[in-house]
């Protein structure tokens, strides 16, 4: 039928791994930016969402785009998954080659497996004198991540965010793995997405980072998101540039929310603003009812004791 033509969309990749193994540095290197050194205490506090264009002319992935989500620990990912949000096509697990496999490395792998998402291992910091990438591969093979060059189905890419080694190969691998599931979307339909994070901005009010997953989001669109609603009054891309529309697999920051949504909330454009408002109010009422029921249960339990 017309208007429902599927097109290939860019893969969405979530970068996970043990603290300080270089997730943000790796994305910085890929994007040629420097987010990591500006972070308070060098710790990622919020999810960064970025779209990267593969610009190396002789790369097989030339001209393609990849969306990266940089996670602060795994709670955010778990919370979103618990809410039923499926946002990522691939998980890149970053392991520092000097540190080796650590508890959060294994957690990341568990999360990816539970979400049934393919894993690519980026063995980072290979520039370090005490780097031992072979050991990392061996440690993970023992956990069931068999490298593809040993008959398994996990791609390991040795990288250095610091020395910019292996970045092209990592991008190629991501595109290769993405081609297996070949993610698709429809351009010409009301936008659907997921809230990556939301914050209250002193000057701008409620601001949400959302990932548009299907359809095209446009300035002026009315939407429902979780139990709130709004109208796209302004929209910004991952570099803070004002934009007027965003297609599938695009992270955007939106303004014009009535109140704060939660990470993992589904975002849906609705033709009718009043209908969006009505649904939001209904959801809010249901939430309040559930909270009341819970608190009265708690107080009754208190009386019974
Ligand atoms: P969290 O978000 O706090 O979990 O950390 P992260 O995984 O994002 O690591 P981050 O990028 O903050 O890097 C941690 C430290 O490792 C920083 O001091 C980086 O400069 C350093 N680092 C990252 N990649 C490399 C690398 O390839 N080689 C070397 N030598 N150091 C690196
Ligand atoms: Na860090
Ligand atoms: Mg980080």
DSSP per residue over 202-223, as a string? TTTEEEEEEEEEESBEETT-EE
**CB under 5 Å of ion ligand 3: residues:** 23-24, 44
pLDDT in tens, the chain (305 residues): 455 899 999 999 999 999 999 999 999 999 988 888 888 888 887 778 999 998 888 888 889 999 999 987 667 777 777 776 789 999 999 999 999 999 999 999 998 999 899 999 999 999 999 999 999 999 999 999 999 999 999 999 999 999 999 999 999 999 999 999 999 999 999 999 999 999 998 888 999 999 999 999 999 999 999 999 999 999 999 989 999 999 999 999 999 899 999 989 999 999 999 999 999 999 999 999 999 998 888 777 777 76
Write down the pTM of the prediction.
Answer: 0.92
Q: 125 C-alpha to center of ligand 2: Å?
A: 13
Q: What span, in angstroms and rounded, lies between the C-alpha atoms of 93 and 90? A: 10
Strand partners, 122: 94, 157
Q: Is the CB of 102 under 6 A from ligand 1?
A: no
List C-alpha distances in Å: 146 to 138, 139, 304: 9, 10, 56
Query: To test ligand 1's pocket by mutation, which of 161, 166, 167 has the most ligand atoms within 8 angstroms of CB?
Result: 161
Q: 18 C-alpha to center of ligand 3: Å?
A: 10
Q: Is the CB of 160 under 6 A from ligand 1?
A: yes
For residues 83, 118, 44, 165, the Cα torsion angle rounded to the nearest 10 degrees is -170
| Number of other CB atoms surrounding residue 58 within 10 Å | 6
Q: What span, in angstroms and rounded, lies between the C-alpha atoms of 41 and 58? A: 38
């Amino acid at each position: 039928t017309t208007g429902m033509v599927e097109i290939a969309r860019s893969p969405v990749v979530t970068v996970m791994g043990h603290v300080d193994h270089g997730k943000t540095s790796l994305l910085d290197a890929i994007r040629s930016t420097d987010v990591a050194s500006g972070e308070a205490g060098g710790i990622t506090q919020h999810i960064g969402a970025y779209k990267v264009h593969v610009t190396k002319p002789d790369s097989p992935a030339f001209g393609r785009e990849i969306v990266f989500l940089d996670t602060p620990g795994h709670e955010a990912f778990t919370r979103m998954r618990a809410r039923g949000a499926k946002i990522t096509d691939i998980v890149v697990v970053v392991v520092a080659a000097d540190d080796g496999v650590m508890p959060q490395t294994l957690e990341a792998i568990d999360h990816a497996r539970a979400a049934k998402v393919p894993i690519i291992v980026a063995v980072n910091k290979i520039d370090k004198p005490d780097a031992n990438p072979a050991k990392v591969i061996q440690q993970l093979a023992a956990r069931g991540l068999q490298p593809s060059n040993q008959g398994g189905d996990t791609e390991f890419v040795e990288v250095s965010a610091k020395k910019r080694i292996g970045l092209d190969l990592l991008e190629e691998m991501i595109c290769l793995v993405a081609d297996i599931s070949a993610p698709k979307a429809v351009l010409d339909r009301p936008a659907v997405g997921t809230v990556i994070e939301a914050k209250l901005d002193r000057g701008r009010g409620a601001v949400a980072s959302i990932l548009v997953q299907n359809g095209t989001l446009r300035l002026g669109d009315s939407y429902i998101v979780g139990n709130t609603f709004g109208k796209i009054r302004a929209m910004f891309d991952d570099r803070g540039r004002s934009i007027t529309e965003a297609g599938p697999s695009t992270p955007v920051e939106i303004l014009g929310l009535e109140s704060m949504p939660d990470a993992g909330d589904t975002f849906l454009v609705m033709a009718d603003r009043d209908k969006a408002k009505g649904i939001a109010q209904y959801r809010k009422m249901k939430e309040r009812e559930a909270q009341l029921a819970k608190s009265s249960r708690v107080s009754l339990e208190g009386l019974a004791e």
